[in-house]
Amino acid sequence: MRNCAAVLLLSAWGGIAAAHAGCFDVQVPVFRELRPLVPRSPRQALAEANARIAALPKDAADQEPRTVAALYAIRARAYGQMTLTHPERASALAGLALLHDPTDPLRLELLASYANSFSSAGAVTTALAEVKQARALVRPGSRSDICLQISEGFMNQLRARVSPAIRELTNAYLQSSASELPEARINASEGLAVALRSMGDGREALKFIDQQIQWDKARHARDDLSGGIYFRGEILRSMGHYRQAIAAYKQSRAMSMSVGDVQSTGYTDLRMCEAEIALKHFRDARLACNRAVPVLAAGHVTAMIKETRVQLAKIALGEGHPAHAVRILDQVLRDHGADMLAFTVAPAYLTRAKANARLHRYAAAYRDLNTYLRLYQAHNRANQARLREALEIRFQAKQEFERNAILRRKLQAAAHRATKQRQLLDWMEAAGVAGALAIALLSYILVADRRHRRQLVVLANEDPLTGLPNRGYTAQLATEALATAWTQSRPLTVALIDFDYFKTINDQCGHAAGDHVLKEFAQLSRGALRAGDIFGRWGGEEFLLVLPDASLDSALASVERLRLLALGIQVPCPEGRTEGLRVTFSAGLASTADGLRTLDEIVARADVALYEAKDAGRDGVRISRARGGPDAEPLRA
């Protein structure tokens, strides 16, 4: 349930919708078969599940209850992805009625869907109690326990209990990372992104949402990716990076349209309108808000309709029509914002105060300004208190987890040493070796141990497919190079490279062919770059190139060399399937010349430029420009 509509509605209260997607270890074959289809095409997954349910014999619920329940679970997840909460709940309940083992991962999957389908405070409280009851029955620290903890975190966000939500999600994130449960980790990171954004910590929120975006890119989950990019725009907008936010909204909107998710475009247009107003682009803002109005009206989302009207009032005021702005806001605030989202009421009063002041109605302006200040101060005090509590909880959770991890490592190390000593003593006793031989043996063990540690360091830093630095090591090297560039006042440019239509190569020629392309590209690129350049695999078919002491022009020349090398790669493919297949990539460039100091900032700017290149037709490079100019400049047709 991670599309834009769900993200927007629930993130308004500090929550997000995909509380359990892909988290539980459900082993029913039909569920495992259809589950990957849900994020790519929820409508297709729903149609397939409905068709299979219709084809089942009448006694299927008695003969094959787990198969039928699994199909209902797919239905629930597909409905949830489309933010259709009532049919999601009905499907989850139908599946739950067929299962009785309270620790069955399939039943827990259905329970999470059921709990996720509520938004009213009372219903969420009831569902939360059921999830807590289920957690009490599963093994602490197990996969099911972690997934249920994530569900608790999401539901606490829906109840505006941000601090407990952050505690649960932080614990789940750390536990799933240590237990190597990537889907659970992504769910937890997504929830943390929303919670941290609501706390005003945009930088940390970006780190977590970018994990989700990279995950969805690698899985080609376009519907989920649209929601992640939309929420990235929300974070950027909250940080005041309006141009980057608009670029993210446009990209998300195009993705939503491509999968037929019209409802999400309404929410995206509303936020795009808000960002354009911040830039004083009132004409573009009006176009976006006017696009949002009919979509929101069709969905009967009163709070969002009123918020759109507040934005239209801001546009009227910005264009010099204060009387029109007052007329709009008088209607919006007729009931003092009772049916509006809490965080949108204060700005409405502030806008009306400004409009009344323009009309020289100072008494009315003074009343509205007082109301605005009262609401703003109350909201700000509550946010500051929650932020302090949330930061303390995150710190405590991380400390506790690290203490436990250190203790576990110490116990494991002690046990390992004891085992080695026992084995050595047994061997010496059995063999009756002399002291000199024992010394030689110990020397060999030390040398071998050092060699083993060196091999482990290489394995930890190297991408096993391409032999390039992996994402973690690339980020480390890039961060160090960036710090050096700023310390020495020298230029540095980053290129984010992503292969075009890579899924087509995998689908037509097989994943072995895709792997061949990546390995060949890595080998060719190493020979074409300077000794000091940093080139690593960033994830999937994406690579990061860091060019110290390189201006944008020289960096462009380097990327062009790589682009030409990629064009020459032959795809090993069965005869007849290679027609139209070419190895091309799109790239985005960003430079420290734009004042970007952190790796996250510079990669984010390069990422925006990369997607501009994708949207412009692929097989091209775009350069991210400084905040004062356009977001990206085309460099190739």
426-454 pLDDT, tens digit each: 554 544 444 444 445 444 444 544 554 45
Across the strands, what pairs with 547? Answer: 493
Across the strands, what pairs with 443? Answer: none
- Helix (H), strand (E) at residue 146: helix 143-158
Measured in whole angstroms, the distance separating CA 627 from the mean position of its chain's CA atoms is 24
Distances (CA, A) of 61 to 43, 57, 73, 173, 535: 24, 9, 14, 36, 55
User: What does the chain come to in residues?
Assistant: 637
- Helix (H), strand (E) at residue 485: helix 471-487
Measured in whole angstroms, the distance separating CA 522 from the mean position of its chain's CA atoms is 27
pLDDT at 339: 76
**CATH numeric code, 471-634:** 3.30.70.270
Q: Which residue has the higher pLDDT, 84 or 229?
A: 229
Q: Which CATH superfamily is domain 4-300 in?
A: Tetratricopeptide repeat domain (1.25.40.10)
- pLDDT digits 0-9 by tens, 506-525: 888 888 899 999 999 999 99
CB 294 within 8 A of CB 308: no
Both structure tokens of 174? 């750390």
> Which one, of 613, 608, 607, lies nearest residue 634 by Cα?
613
Distances (CA, A) of 617 to 485, 569, 590, 614, 633: 33, 20, 20, 6, 14
CB 21 within 8 A of CB 183: yes
Indicate if the alpha-carbon torsion angle 178, 117, 165, 300 is positive or negative: positive
**Count of C-beta atoms within a 10 Å radius of residue 240:** 12
Both structure tokens of 29? 């074959």
Q: Is 4-300's fold the same as 471-634's?
A: no
pTM (whole model) above 0.95 = no
Q: CA 90, CA 231: separation in Å to the nearest integer? A: 28
Average pLDDT, the chain: 80
pLDDT at 8: 43
Which residues, including other chains, have CB under 8 Å from residue 55's CB and lie 6 or more apart?
A: none
State the DSSP code for 592.
G
Q: CA 511, CA 502: separation in Å to the nearest integer? A: 10
pLDDT at 2: 42
Indicate the residue type of 313. Answer: A
Domains in the chain: boundaries: 4-300, 416-461, 471-634
- pLDDT digits 0-9 by tens, 55-106: 988 888 888 899 999 999 999 988 887 767 788 889 989 999 999 898 898 9
